[in-house]
């Protein structure tokens, strides 16, 4: 089963596809969708939506997982990321994909075993889990893979595929 993980953002949206089969997780594809900084917000959101629809059609995931919004001190950033999440959720829903949402601390707990893991620890655990030579870059792509791995570890159906092969 394939899972599309998403780390939402308006400037950079990270995405990663992992497959649970034969008792393990494997990387299918990973990358980012980027939008120009000077572009109007509605146009940026349309680019993200179109890009996600293309990714869904190309990689045909069975499920999706997206990181929940982390409220920081910058309200404008939180609003912008919330809009990107909304566009991503719409694209996933229109594709008929079941979607799971995870708080950042839950992703860290599932992937690194510690809810306070830092970026380097998370990237190393993603690398080890997927058997990669180097951590995925940029950070947004690695974060999206971590969300997909979290879903694989916490979804009962995917857990069976990983543990039973």
- Decide if 67 is catalytic: yes
Q: Where are the beta strands (DSSP E) in 37-153?
A: 63-67, 99-102
Task: Compute CA distances 28 → 58, 83, 85, whole Å.
Answer: 11, 27, 22
How many Å apart are CA 97 and CA 63, to the nearest integer?
5
Query: Does residue 7 have an active-site annotation?
Result: yes
In Å, the largest CA–CA distance within the chain is: 49
> Reduced to 3 states, what is the DSSP secondary structure of residue 133?
coil
**19 assigned to active site:** no
Q: Which of 19, 43, 62, 67 is catalytic?
A: 67
Whole-angstrom distance, CA of residue 159 vs CA of residue 20? 8
Give the active site residue among 7, 50, 62, 124: 7
Say how many residues make up the chain: 165
Residue among 101, 118, 140, 143 flagged as catalytic = 140
At which residue do the structure tokens 């080890």 appear? 128
Catalytic residues: 7, 67, 140
């Amino acid at each position: 089963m394939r899972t599309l993980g998403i780390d939402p953002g308006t400037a950079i949206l990270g995405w990663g596809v992992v497959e649970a089969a034969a008792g393990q997780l494997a990387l299918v594809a990973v990358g980012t969708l980027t939008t120009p900084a000077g572009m109007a917000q509605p146009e940026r959101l349309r680019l993200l939506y179109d890009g996600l629809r293309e990714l869904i059609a190309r990689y045909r995931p069975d499920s999706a997982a997206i990181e929940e919004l982390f409220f920081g001190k910058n309200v404008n950033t939180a609003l912008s990321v919330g809009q990107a999440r909304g566009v991503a959720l719409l694209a996933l829903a229109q594709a008929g994909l079941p979607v799971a949402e995870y708080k950042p601390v839950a992703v860290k707990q599932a992937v690194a075993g510690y809810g306070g893991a830092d970026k380097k620890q998370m990237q190393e655990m993603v690398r080890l889990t997927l058997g990669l030579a180097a951590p995925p870059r940029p950070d947004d792509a690695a974060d999206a893979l971590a969300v997909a791995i979290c879903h694989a570890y916490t979804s009962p159906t995917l857990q069976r595929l990983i543990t039973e092969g």
